[in-house]
Structure 1
Amino acid sequence: MAEAQRVRGVVARSKGAPVGIETVVVPAPGPGEARVRVQACGVCHTDLHYKLGAINDDFPFLLGHEAAGVVESVGPDVTEVAVGDYVVLNWRAVCGQCRACRRGRPQYCFATHNATQKMTLEDGTELSAALGIGAFAELTLVAAGQCTKVDTAAPPTVAGLLGCGVMAGLGAAINTGGVGRGDSVAVIGCGGVGDAAVAGAYLAGARAVIAVDVDDRKLEWARGFGATHTVNSRTHDPVEAIRSLTDGHGADVVIDAVGSPETWKQAFYARDLAGTVVLVGVPDPEATLEVPLIDVFGRGGSLKSSWYGDCLPSRDFPVLLDLFLQGRLPLDRFVSEEIGLDDVEAAFDRMHAGEVLRSVVVL
């Protein structure tokens, strides 16, 4: 019978305070749960948002969620995974029973779930696991459905990135945007999510992939993922630039990977008639949008939001890693540096400064 274990983990105790290494008590898995030995975990903007109190104030948080590792033990009635399985963790453990699941659309599951038990500090204080995962730790407890078995040939530093940002961007292009052969695509914001959207558009066969950002360094990164054109929106009007690169019409699909009212309007007016706008950047909760309704009507097309790239982990993770292993999807380009648990606070600073695409904690 498995017992509770004590491991090192990165904890944010209060809003805006530096994170610290704490001893985390990880319970033995109960019904429907799995305990995973974490091998690598990416440092995502969402973790920084938790630390800053921008998601909720359920401190203390056990941070980290873009992770891959090996199943160490499972609870009763678990059939999805077994001890020894190599898995990528996800925050979409589908329920199979909600109205979306019953209609054959589990990628929109409205009742995704996490482990029932809580990990704690040594004094018994319950920890809020980031996105129900908490993987800046040597061991974590999740719902078994949060574990997606993948090919062991994919290194954990790469595989774990599918757990959040990279999947969000790839899915925004492929799943939500429906990019196809010959389409023109523009991506506004070329951080990790935006560059993944660029890679997804290129993979889908887009004839033109236009990357837009305010940082020339990020635009150069986007070229490495398949961008055919780049636009610095500090010096050029992005709407006019996108139109000029698409015969004056606008792009078939425009992906907003920033999530501000300004960038969404740019995406809206930079698309062709009957084109598609995809919002995948997470907006500030206080942000509002005002657009003439006649423009919404008159331009036609689709205005979409992309949740987690509208992915179904069991379907998408293995396929994308197969494409990586075949040399067709450069997921390894997202890894800017490998760090230890003690380096997470400094990694947040480098991420905020735009110096890295992804720092990856290796355990």
Structure 2
Amino acid sequence: MTQHVRGVIAPGKDQPVRTETIVVPDPGPGEAVVEVRACGVCHTDLHYREGGINDDFPFLLGHEAAGVVESVGEGVSEVAPGDFVVLNWRAVCGQCRACARGRPWYCFDTHNAEQPMTLTDGTPLSPALGIGAFAEKTLVAAGQCTKVPETAPEVAGLLGCGVMAGIGAAINTGQVSRGDSVAVIGCGGVGDAAIAGSRLAGAARVIAVDIDDRKLATARELGATHTVNSRQTDPITAVRELTGGFGADVVIEAVGRPETYEQAFYARDLAGTVVLVGVPTPDMKLELPLLDVFGRGGSLKSSWYGDCLPSRDFPMLIDLHRQGRLDLAPFVTEKINLDQVEEAFAKMHTGEVLRSVVMF
């Protein structure tokens, strides 16, 4: 039997979001209905609203979520009704060439729920990142549900996207290790998580780069040893000066713009690593002298979702939180209700918030 719930949709490009009645079907084979408890307002949701991902409007926004499984469809064994779960947007298939080679974090055939959620007039909705969690309940593939301890905080949904992407960019993709120097360009939610991840990995020096002193202050709270305001100081020069003139071992670009990527490229040490975890828009182009790409050696990597495996990494991060080694509180600027998402987007534009979290 279908259910009618409240949810936030983006009706068209650059149009304000609005709260509508959403029709959620019963879960089919391999699917689950999740009662959402909390969902972070991520910059990717704003990208959807602005048409920066694709034009499959209307979108049901929200993806950085945690909640309780309400019901499951036929053949579901990994979760059961009553389980507290963090939602992920890369449910691995287990069969593609990446999974077959033992690298499921690169899965090339991730999947979502087959059935659409709709408006009451039958208009199908495109759920953001296959989740659509700015809603009281949402339908997802069961593989998108990662069971975590019931003692996990309600804001554990932040692990489902931004925190995981940043920590994974440092630990999984960048392979930051003890004694490394790391620079992180862009200190939003993902960049700050990369800073926290670098400290967890034992980096000796973590340099936060941003144009906003408020964000740099938060970066220090999360583990940055040095900060650089790139509006006032050339970040390449500053990072080199802070690393003995060499550049950082790992530079994580968490903005997703050609100019900041170029800064990351030249701020790394010879044979160092650049990790792109910021999300660019389809129109962006990058130009670098090919001789410099060859001559500087090292690795240029893109981080897909922090190259994470949710079933492995989400419980690990919850354990780190419970041990007091990963504090999620600094990531949450404010807790809001469902009708305040558009206001949260405005605050995101002005840099007033690190994360707004919708509480249900």
In 2, the alpha carbon distance for the partners of 1:299 and 1:327 equals 39
- Rounded to whole Å, the distance in 2 between the matches of 1:220 and 1:22 is 38
Q: Which residue of 1 aligns with 2:7?
A: 9
TM-score for both structures, normalised by structure 1: 0.98
- Matches of residues 114-129 of structure 1 in structure 2 within 5 Å? 114-129=112-127
- How far does residue 295 in structure 1 lie from its aligned partner after superposition? 1.0
- What does residue 185 of structure 2 align with? 188
Farther-moved stretch of structure 1 (44-53 vs 97-106): 44-53
Q: What are the within-5 Å matches in structure 2 for residues 73-152 of structure 1?
A: 73-152=71-150
1:156 paired residue number: 154
Q: CA deviation at 1:175?
A: 0.4
1:240 and 2:237 aligned: yes
TM superposition shift of 1:284: 2.1
For residue 17 of structure 1, report the CA deviation from its aligned partner. 1.2
Q: Is the 8 A contact 2:53 2:281 kept in 1?
A: no
- Taking the aligned partners of 2:39 and 2:286, their CA distance within structure 1 comes to 35
Equivalent-residue separation in structure 1 for 2:233 and 2:12 (angstroms): 41
Residue 333 (structure 1) shift = 1.1
Q: In structure 1, what residue type is equivalent to 2:126?
A: S
C-alpha distance in structure 2 between counterparts of 1:323 and 1:279, whole Å: 25
Q: Which amino acid aligns with 1:61?
A: F
Give the Cα–Cα distance (whole angstroms) in 1 for the partners of residues 13 and 231 of structure 2: 32
Is contact 2:148–2:315 with CA below 8 Å preserved after alignment? yes
Aligned pairs, number:
360
* Paired residue type of 2:346: D
- Matched residue, 1:172: 169
CA displacement, residues 185-230 of structure 1 (integer Å, 9 cap, x when unaligned): 0000001110000000011100000000011111001000100000
The structure 2 residue matched to 1:297, chosen from 285, 294, 298, is: 294
Displacement of 1:141: 0.2
Unaligned runs of 5+ in 2: none
For 2:255, give the aligned amino acid: V
Structure 1 stretches (4+) deviating beyond 3 angstroms?
Answer: none
Q: Which residue of 2 aligns with 1:344?
A: 341
Shift of 1:255: 0.4
SS in 2 for 1:338: strand
Aligned amino acid, residue 251 of structure 1: A
Q: Determine if the alignment matches structure 1 residue 328 to structure 2 residue 321.
A: no
The secondary structure found in structure 2 opposite 1:333 is helix
Amino acid at match of 1:354: G
Separation in 2, partners of 1:289, 1:123: 43
Q: TM-score w.r.t. structure 2 length?
A: 0.99
SS in 2 for 1:21: strand
Does 2:358 match 1:358? Answer: no
| 8 Å Cα contact 2:64/2:160 also seen in 1 | yes
CA RMSD, aligned part only? Answer: 0.7
Is 1:215 paired with 2:212? yes
| Aligned-partner Cα distance in 1 for 2:8–2:58 | 10
